[in-house]
Amino acid sequence: MSLTLTVSDIWKSYKGIPVLKGCSFSFDAGATYAVMGANGSGKSTFLRICALIENPAKGEVHYFYNSSAVKNDIELRRRVTLVLPGIGIFNTTALSNVTYGLKIRGIKKSEAIKRASEALEFVGLFQKRNQNALTLSSGEAQRLGIARAVVIEPEILFLDEPTSSIDEKNTEIVEDIIFKMKQQRGTTIILTTHDNSQAERLAEKTLFIREGCFISR
């Protein structure tokens, strides 16, 4: 697996206020990266732009596969996934929340259930598969969000503050999942965090955003 990402001179403003002011970086395949910075420094904005959910005002986001540029189309957007905390959980079972992404990709029901069950097992939620997802604890909901991404087998996984609102035990489980994604599947992981020690535990490289740019620390 060798999908890589290069961002060059990314600029982004909201209502005339600049958030990102010329961020550039190349992400290697198979590594884990942490993006850190104060609240409002632009971490989530950076992730959304990298994950092709939002366009920069200026600058380029390029994906490469084995050094050839990859066209920015729906196919590419299936290979890169952004997990946001607690977003878009449906009022149905945990299992159906995970099979959904497979069904819309035309995968037949029995296969979808098999793969979703494996993804739930992977995040330690198999026992909760028939529980309504809206009744899961915040730590479990966070893991469900990861299962929904994992089941699609993304090559690059973006995680926006994956442990910001969960307890120590769930944080440990989530860190373990991230570690396994990298070790077992070779997934490239780009996450935001406020936790220095988490960045040290998980990431080969930590990027700090300050005043709209990456700084070295």
Ligand X SMILES: Nc1ncnc2c1ncn2[C@@H]1O[C@H](COP(=O)(O)OP(=O)(O)O)[C@@H](O)[C@H]1O
Considering only 14, 111, 183, 204, the residue that binds ligand X (CB under 6 A) is 14
Q: Does 212 bind ligand X (CB under 6 A)?
A: no
Buried b (16+ CB within 10 A) or exposed e, 79-90: bbbbbbbeeebe
Find where tokens 């490289």 sit. 205
Q: Which residues contact 103 (CB under 8 A, 6 or more apart)?
A: 109, 112
* Sites for ligand X among residues 24-43 (CB under 6 A): 37, 39-43
Please state, in angstroms and rounded to a whole number, the distance separating the CA atoms of residues 128 and 97.
12
Q: Does 56 bind ligand X (CB under 6 A)?
A: no
Q: Does 215 bind ligand X (CB under 6 A)?
A: no
> Considering beta carbons, is residue 43 or 128 the nearer one to Mg ion?
43
CB of 44 to ligand X, least distance (A): 3
* Sites for ligand X among residues 164-193 (CB under 6 A): none
Q: Which residues contact 123 (CB under 8 A, 6 or more apart)?
A: 143, 144, 146, 147, 150, 173, 177
CB of 211 to ligand X, least distance (A): 12
Binding site for ligand X (CB under 6 A): 14-15, 19, 37, 39-45
